[in-house]
A and B are shown apart, each in its own frame.
Chain A
Amino acid sequence: MGVGIEVNNLNAWYGSNHTLQDITLHIPANHATALIGPSGCGKSTFVRCLNRMHETNPIARVTGSVRVGDLDIYNDAKPVQVRRRIGMVFQRPNPFPTMSIYDNVASGLKLNGYSNRRVLDDIVEKSLKNSALWDEVKDDLKKKSGASLSGGQQQRLCIARALAVDPEVLLMDEPASALDPVSTSKIEDLIFQLKSQYTIVIVTHNMQQAARVAEKTGFFLNGRMVEFDSTHKIFTNPSDKRTEDYITGRFG
């Protein structure tokens, strides 16, 4: 089951660039939360702070606290441990090119030392079913490489891979922006079905997507979170004028 995320006074820097300023919000468990905003507003950076992926850049720095469930991810755990509990799906599908579909899905477990064959088979099947890819690949699991699928299938494969490690939270950084409309719609269906089991945070450029999929939405602008509220309110009656300007297309 998913857990909620408590963010308190999160500030992030890339070198001297103050990318995120004083972000505080609560992301509810078992719901989908969308983060919208113009390019460069910091929403991707924010999401990467939630699983400490931004630390892969040596000049990155963070202050503030992030609690995922009961875990303070910056003080109580190391990045590797955090990332095993929080899954991530990236903007461009990135299956491991040298691995089969099966191995791709199982990679999070196998590379962490898990080797029980029967359990892995079960998990691979369950994850692929959860990401609506099972029917399409069930006959070719070990024969085809992860990279031989179409773009939309690859992204669902990446979702299956992230789900296989049974995370508490699933972060999605513009997961459908590189895909065609049909694949996009499939991914959105998926999110709808997954959020009963996981907490989902989705960064999106597409406001209609946020409206379709998420219960809560946060609007980011220039490194600050301007407004965070139920999706319905954000899109019909936003409190902040900047939000309203973005929603109505005056900029962004």
Chain B
Amino acid sequence: MIDTVPEIRISQPPIQREPSLDENQLAAKPTGAESISPIRQYLLSRGNSAMADRFFHVLMVLCALSIFGIVAFIATELVTSSQLTWHKFGFGFFYKTFVSPVTGDKMYWDPVNEQFSAVPFVYGTLVSSFLSLLIAVPLGVGLAIFLTEMSPRALRAPLAFLTELLAAIPSVIYGLWAVFVLVPLLREYVNPVLVRTLGWTGFFADDNPTGLGFFAGGVILSIMILPIISSLTREVMTAVPHSQREAVLALGATRWEMIRMGVLRNARIGIVGAIILGLGRALGETMAVTMVIGNTPEIHKSILANGSSMAAVIANEFTEAVSDVHRTALIEIGLALFIVTIIVNALAQLLVWAVTRGAPSQAH
């Protein structure tokens, strides 16, 4: 409600008015008309602020360039600090394995003998991320469909708010909850069922009674990347113009068919982008994953086995790494993580941008 100030009519305007070049008017100037008022004097004396404007402009440019500076800073620091490992192992750091001098078994991560291979961590990152996508994509897209096309208007804001809250929960709190609630749940109820029913595939072995492992990591990761996938999918779906929906409906489609053909088909590039963005987040998630994945630098076919991930091993071992080789090996893993997430995120941003370009964000 606008609190208006009451209007008062000023003088009654004359009905007929003829403006004219009145010589008298021009002649009858009030005294002192030639002198300039102090205000005008003051303003005339002010400079044109060219220097202040320039300074301000430069300052703002520098602040903006800091973004590039941050990327350069991270890249430089990580590259220079991982030189030791790079010289020692080269690119094989990421795919070669070696053999333990003691047992003759395949080994990956041996701080004692200063032999390092990033293979198990790459494996763990990929497995846990893939698992999380498997769970989060159907759920996230499903939620997005529900919110954009099906839910009653009243539910939309609260549900969107809840999704925002989910995204705001810190990783360590997810990890805390996972350690004390999710992992026992998996251990007691879910894993045995999985072993019983799907053990024949070889992906569900029963030799890990802790409940930790790739699967636990994947589950908690899925909860964490869900909000991103969901809200971005919502954004690209609402960017699809209504005319598309109406066109399909006019052909006699059911609601699902309208969604499938009128919306999803048009938004599909953006949805792929949302998924890739979720992947990007999953690749780099650290705390929750390191708390439940078991922190064992090994590769197993079973997803119920303990493992590790690139981010997890850094978090777990960095402060205790004594030798320079150990530490720089971890830094090189961090560098790889940096490069991969930049590429994945850049790709995802491009895809989402391509779809929502021009269309204002309505996903609120």
Q: Is the CB of B19 within 8 A of A84?
A: no
A28 to B13 Cα, complex, angstroms: 25
Contact residues of A between 195 and 241, Cβ < 8 Å to B: 196, 212-215, 230-232
A149 contacts the other chain (Cβ, under 8 Å)?
yes
Q: Is the CB of A136 within 8 A of B6?
A: yes
A71 to B42 Cα, complex, angstroms: 17
Over the window 27-44 of chain B, the binary record of Cβ atoms lying under 8 Å from chain A Cβ atoms (1 yes, 0 no) is 001000100011110111
A231 to B8 Cα, complex, angstroms: 31
| Known contacts A196-B25, A231-B19; A152/B7 CB under 8 A | yes
B5 contacts the other chain (Cβ, under 8 Å)?
yes
Q: Is the CB of A189 within 8 A of B10?
A: yes
Q: Is the CB of A31 within 8 A of B43?
A: no
- What residues of chain A lie closer than 8 Å to B6, measured between beta carbons? 136
B103 contacts the other chain (Cβ, under 8 Å)?
no
A113 to B11 Cα, complex, angstroms: 36
Nearest to A145 among chain B residues (CB) is B3
A150 to B42 Cα, complex, angstroms: 33
A123 to B33 Cα, complex, angstroms: 18
Least CB distance from A115 to B in Å reads 11
Q: Is the CB of B20 within 8 A of A215?
A: yes
- What residues of chain B lie closer than 8 Å to A166, measured between beta carbons? 37, 39-40, 43
| Known contacts A132-B10, A185-B13; A215/B21 CB under 8 A | yes
Nearest to B25 among chain A residues (CB) is A196
A219 to B29 Cα, complex, angstroms: 30
A192 contacts the other chain (Cβ, under 8 Å)?
yes
| Known contacts A153-B5, A196-B25, A212-B19; A81/B10 CB under 8 A | no
B48 contacts the other chain (Cβ, under 8 Å)?
yes
| Known contacts A136-B8, A166-B37, A188-B13; A213/B48 CB under 8 A | no
Over the window 209-231 of chain B, the binary record of Cβ atoms lying under 8 Å from chain A Cβ atoms (1 yes, 0 no) is 00000000000000000000000
Q: Count how many chain B residues have C-beta atoms less than 8 Å from C-beta atoms of the other chain.
A: 30
| Known contacts A1-B33, A85-B44, A165-B43; A148/B19 CB under 8 A | no
B243 contacts the other chain (Cβ, under 8 Å)?
no
Least CB distance from A214 to B in Å reads 6
Q: Is the CB of B37 within 8 A of A144?
A: no
Contact residues of A between 153 and 200, Cβ < 8 Å to B: 153, 164-166, 168, 185-186, 188-189, 192, 196
Q: Count how many chain A residues have C-beta atoms less than 8 Å from C-beta atoms of the other chain.
A: 45
Nearest to A165 among chain B residues (CB) is B43
- What residues of chain A lie closer than 8 Å to B13, measured between beta carbons? 185, 188-189
Over the window 122-136 of chain A, the binary record of Cβ atoms lying under 8 Å from chain B Cβ atoms (1 yes, 0 no) is 010000000010011
Over the window 7-51 of chain A, the binary record of Cβ atoms lying under 8 Å from chain B Cβ atoms (1 yes, 0 no) is 000000000000000000000101110000000000000000000
- What residues of chain A lie closer than 8 Å to B4, measured between beta carbons? 148-150, 153
Q: Is the CB of A1 within 8 A of B29?
A: yes
Contact residues of B between 46 and 68, Cβ < 8 Å to A: 46, 48-50
| Known contacts A85-B44, A214-B19; A144/B3 CB under 8 A | yes
- What residues of chain A lie closer than 8 Å to B112, measured between beta carbons? none
| Known contacts A112-B43, A189-B11; A148/B50 CB under 8 A | no
- What residues of chain B lie closer than 8 Å to A80, measured between beta carbons? 48-49
- What residues of chain A lie closer than 8 Å to B29, measured between beta carbons? 1
Q: Is the CB of B50 within 8 A of A149?
A: no
B364 contacts the other chain (Cβ, under 8 Å)?
no
Contact residues of B between 325 and 345, Cβ < 8 Å to A: none
A220 to B176 Cα, complex, angstroms: 74
A95 to B169 Cα, complex, angstroms: 41
- What residues of chain B lie closer than 8 Å to A123, measured between beta carbons? 39
- What residues of chain B lie closer than 8 Å to A168, measured between beta carbons? 40
A120 to B176 Cα, complex, angstroms: 61
Nearest to B26 among chain A residues (CB) is A30
- What residues of chain A lie closer than 8 Å to B3, measured between beta carbons? 144, 148
- What residues of chain A lie closer than 8 Å to B10, measured between beta carbons? 132, 186, 189
Nearest to B40 among chain A residues (CB) is A166
- What residues of chain B lie closer than 8 Å to A1, measured between beta carbons? 29, 33
Least CB distance from A237 to B in Å reads 15
Q: Which of B4, B5, B19 has the largest count of A CB atoms less than 10 A from its CB? A: B19
B17 contacts the other chain (Cβ, under 8 Å)?
yes
- What residues of chain A lie closer than 8 Å to B2, measured between beta carbons? 148, 150
| Known contacts A136-B8, A186-B10; A84/B46 CB under 8 A | yes
**From A153, A165, A192, contact of B7 by CB (8 A):** A153
B18 contacts the other chain (Cβ, under 8 Å)?
yes
- What residues of chain A lie closer than 8 Å to B5, measured between beta carbons? 136-137, 140, 144, 148-150, 153
| Known contacts A32-B19, A212-B19; A150/B44 CB under 8 A | no
Nearest to B20 among chain A residues (CB) is A215
Contact residues of B between 275 and 318, Cβ < 8 Å to A: none
Known: A149-B5, A153-B4; 12 extra A-B contacts, CB below 8 A, are A30-B25, A78-B48, A80-B48, A84-B46, A119-B38, A136-B5, A150-B7, A165-B40, A196-B25, A231-B19, A232-B18, A232-B20
Residues in B lying within 8 Å of A, measured CB to CB:
2-8, 10-11, 13, 17-21, 25-26, 29, 33, 37-40, 42-44, 46, 48-50
Residues in A lying within 8 Å of B, measured CB to CB:
1, 28, 30-32, 77-78, 80-81, 84-85, 109, 112-114, 119, 123, 132, 135-137, 140, 144, 148-150, 152-153, 164-166, 168, 185-186, 188-189, 192, 196, 212-215, 230-232
